[in-house]
Structure 1
């Protein structure tokens, strides 16, 4: 089985890794000449970080004091938020890193795993039965096509798939990447600068001398000298040397594709959904799309592949709505204190951890799915449809690290289930403390899907045939 991924950004390259790890032949077609060196996002949330950990995508992490400050210059900043540190929810913490560094790590690993990555390969035609045409005239046939070609997805347009949602929200911004040796580094990762001469958002890119300045309504046709003037005026450092490297226009947008699948073509990442930047959910939602789709493509079966849209589209819709609410109530988004729970509930805002990892799947690939019980509390209790509970089984090794394809995790008195797993050819592990964490008896078990989500939970002893039936149901066969 082979797959073509249209788009070699972060989501496309990570998905190439996920597929190659599971034995799928992968080819990526990217219209640009190389990986972009201009970062748009700045890291992976804890769920995406644990997915990258599972996939072996390794990259250098920056130490950032996450938070927001504002003022008329870098010398006169007032914290808008305190330091923002998300509680641990699994084996990997949130990772701060400019997006291009993640891209390069995923690119190298995908190639090491045998994926073919073609740059300067612009796609100009696609059919829903998996035939792709490039601008050079090459015709590429694949079992499946994955559109990871961004918010202005050509694949989505070629297939005539519409979108819903508010669309573009207000005016555009210009993301200006520049080099400024010696510019003072502020305490927090984001500085909102506003004075009579200039307005913008300043972010440090890495440990070097590169920065991003977001200019409201910025015109890329303006002379470079004008951007240099704006940056000096905004920062209050009139003699700083400013070398403008590149510019990317963007606009806060909220929209979800009407379909995530058409024939043998699947939409992931911004091709499937675009969410406003508040919360940093966009890139991370796309990574989870690819992770969900990859194991289903590897497992095969048309009915199973239908569950991709059934599971991921509601998550995209929920994430978009939550980002819109956060844009209207930024103080609540940044304030993670439990005492603000009632305020969040009053405006329909979920706790950020619930948005990141508390959503639940309800599809034929889950047996007896249970709904999300709370918008405020992150509940990872072994319920079918939820991400499995995290327990350290030994130093540096989590229950999530035990997941290798379909995996059975059991209590400490479940020899029958261990034997049933062996007979069905799937991995199984007896885990002390698992019964309490996953809501089962010590002779019970949880069948975990390859993406780390609970597919089935059973409280007592069973048999080889019962486990086989559960596998067949989850695989929709």
Structure 2
């Protein structure tokens, strides 16, 4: 058979299109949940360009669940002191302003066991690739999606690569193919938002920056002088970095203007020292935009990351939001593909991540206005801090059982003001399990988890029965002030009841993604714990 002839492809329940940060995250999370998935990426390998560099503590928590956080922390160790955002005339010139970035140290210890990670995308992607392969994901680099067709039972894709062209059958297709998504364009999904705000080129360069930086270490540097205006990020080796500059096609500028010589001139002006030699490694053009797709779920095709929403990079929310998309979607696909949940559970992906995508894109634009100095008083008031945007999200969907008479929460709130409300991230508290100190977050990430108060044994018994009835993984524990038996966790700090908003006879059900699905402040009404929990799970699993 010649390479141009069709050849059979092994099928999988989920086909992921796009092997960058979000696609690889989707492969990791799906494989973590035991879902066979195949990823196709037209490039021969992971990114060679640094691109995204910062991951907030909530993103680190998601990587923690899938066994990636430790490797990412080790890889990011060289960036530990890169915590200062500054404005300069050049690295060798005057410092115009200096501000400490969000830190992941003791000041966040009440919120999370994780911390802010600074790690260029080209160094995180190989870690995700290795973990996905370790978990059994089928990753096919150098393979491109040529076309696809959906029918009531699944998606038939035509793939092409070095080995020829063939068809691939999957139950679902997840589009992680970036802001110019061919999948989204094929579906003709419109987008809302302010559109393209400006056009930019990221220039990856090599240079010995040790002399001009000295003891200083920056997370982000805003450079402005007569020769160049841009943003510079340097790596932990001090042997290179990335300079981001804009260009204006409406003024006759084009990508062709950015020759190696021109790029070296711009980087040299940003460094500000004639003694530092510069080499150009790569260029990456991109658009700063605010665009959100009208719907993330289109039959058996699901949009994630930049294919679903393009967020202005001011604030660094884009990669974090895309990884959270993949995390939200993975457990739902696992339950639907496995038959434990109805297809309606996938509709909650759109209901939950759609508002978050729109909100976060707007916050990126607000941060752009604030940092550029042109924000109105109203814009300044509406701009939220990074912890609120990334950790304080609240979902409203059929996969969340609202409390009677409770006022709906905004899309995002200060996480310190949240106390286990359904639809919000389950809080971090310190617990003792089997003699080892853990975070409550370490309980989440596989199946459902029910936590009950010290007098909540009826809830834990009901959870065991419900798990058998629905065929799902559901682990139940009581949380007690002191040692309380095999099914109990010790509340070391005494914060669990307040953090989760339940009493000694109450309980809370946490979804596989670490989001609270339901809670009861006290014991069940007359119909009993088993009936209540069964009704809750039937709703959450779309098994009505």
TM-score by shorter chain over 0.5 = yes
The aligned runs of 1:300-379 (5 Å cut-off) are: 300=336, 301-330=342-371, 347-368=381-402, 371-372=408-409, 377-378=414-415, 379=417
Q: Which runs of 5+ in 1 are unaligned?
A: 335-341
Whether 1:140 aligns to 2:168 is: yes
Q: TM-score, normalised by structure 2?
A: 0.82
Q: Choose which of 142, 155, 163 in structure 1 pairs with 2:191.
A: 163
Whether 1:28 aligns to 2:35 is: no
Q: 1:311·1:362 contact (CA, 8 Å) conserved in 2? A: yes
Aligned-residue offset at 1:188: 2.3
Aligned partner of residue 127 in structure 1, secondary structure:
strand
Which whole-Å deviations, capped at 9, do the CAs of 1:14-53 have from their partners, x for residues lacking one? 1111101111101000010110121111021111110001
Q: Choose which of 220, 224, 239 in structure 2 pairs with 1:209.
A: 239
Aligned-residue offset at 1:124: 1.7
Q: Choose which of 115, 126, 130 in structure 2 pairs with 1:104.
A: 126
Whether 1:262 aligns to 2:298 is: yes
Q: Choose which of 8, 30, 54 in structure 2 pairs with 1:19.
A: 30
Q: Which runs of 5+ in 2 are unaligned?
A: 1-11, 248-253, 337-341, 468-473, 480-490
Aligned-residue offset at 1:332: 9.2
Aligned-residue offset at 1:220: 4.7
The aligned runs of 1:2-17 (5 Å cut-off) are: 2-17=13-28
Deviates more, 1:422-431 or 1:272-281: 422-431
Q: 2:87·2:98 contact (CA, 8 Å) conserved in 1? A: no
Aligned-residue offset at 1:396: 5.4
Q: 1:326·1:333 contact (CA, 8 Å) conserved in 2? A: no
Instruction: Assess, with a 3 A threshold, how the Cα gap between structure 1 residues 291 and 332 changes in structure 2: closer, same or farther.
Output: farther
Over aligned residue pairs, what C-alpha RMSD do you find? 2.2
Q: 2:296·2:354 contact (CA, 8 Å) conserved in 1? A: yes
The aligned runs of 1:453-472 (5 Å cut-off) are: 453-462=515-524, 463-472=529-538
Q: Choose which of 44, 51, 60 in structure 1 pairs with 2:62.
A: 51
Q: TM-score, normalised by structure 1?
A: 0.93
Whether 1:423 aligns to 2:451 is: no
Instruction: Assess, with a 3 A threshold, how the Cα gap between structure 1 residues 220 and 392 changes in structure 2: closer, same or farther.
Output: farther
Q: Choose which of 416, 419, 435 in structure 2 pairs with 1:381.
A: 419
Q: Distance in 2 between matches of 1:411 and 1:330?
A: 46
* Rg larger in structure: 2
Which whole-Å deviations, capped at 9, do the CAs of 1:404-434 have from their partners, x for residues lacking one? 4110011122111121222233201222342
Q: Choose which of 418, 430, 443 in structure 2 pairs with 1:402.
A: 443
Deviates more, 1:237-246 or 1:200-209: 200-209
* Map of 1:124 onto structure 2: 146
Aligned-residue offset at 1:126: 1.6
Q: Distance in 1 between matches of 2:377 and 2:218?
A: 25
Instruction: Assess, with a 3 A threshold, how the Cα gap between structure 1 residues 409 and 343 changes in structure 2: closer, same or farther.
Output: farther
Q: 1:26·1:116 contact (CA, 8 Å) conserved in 2? A: yes
Aligned-residue offset at 1:331: 7.7
Q: 1:279·1:333 contact (CA, 8 Å) conserved in 2? A: no
Instruction: Assess, with a 3 A threshold, how the Cα gap between structure 1 residues 133 and 460 changes in structure 2: closer, same or farther.
Output: same
Length, aligned pairs only: 469
Q: 2:17·2:174 contact (CA, 8 Å) conserved in 1? A: yes
Q: Distance in 2 between matches of 1:377 and 1:252?
A: 27
Q: Distance in 1 between matches of 2:114 and 2:377?
A: 29
Q: 2:315·2:364 contact (CA, 8 Å) conserved in 1? A: yes
Whether 1:190 aligns to 2:231 is: no
Which whole-Å deviations, capped at 9, do the CAs of 1:161-213 have from their partners, x for residues lacking one? 1111111003x111010111245334422222222223322111332512101
Q: Distance in 2 between matches of 1:461 and 1:332?
A: 53
Q: Choose which of 227, 249, 259 in structure 2 pairs with 1:223.
A: 259
Aligned-residue offset at 1:346: 6.0
Instruction: Assess, with a 3 A threshold, how the Cα gap between structure 1 residues 333 and 92 changes in structure 2: closer, same or farther.
Output: farther
* Map of 1:338 onto structure 2: none
* Map of 2:181 onto structure 1: 153
Q: Distance in 2 between matches of 1:343 and 1:63?
A: 34
Deviates more, 1:465-474 or 1:215-224: 215-224
* Map of 1:73 onto structure 2: 90
Instruction: Assess, with a 3 A threshold, how the Cα gap between structure 1 residues 167 and 226 changes in structure 2: closer, same or farther.
Output: same
Aligned-residue offset at 1:284: 0.5
Q: Distance in 2 between matches of 1:393 and 1:331?
A: 44
Q: Distance in 2 between matches of 1:64 and 1:41?
A: 18
Aligned-residue offset at 1:243: 1.4
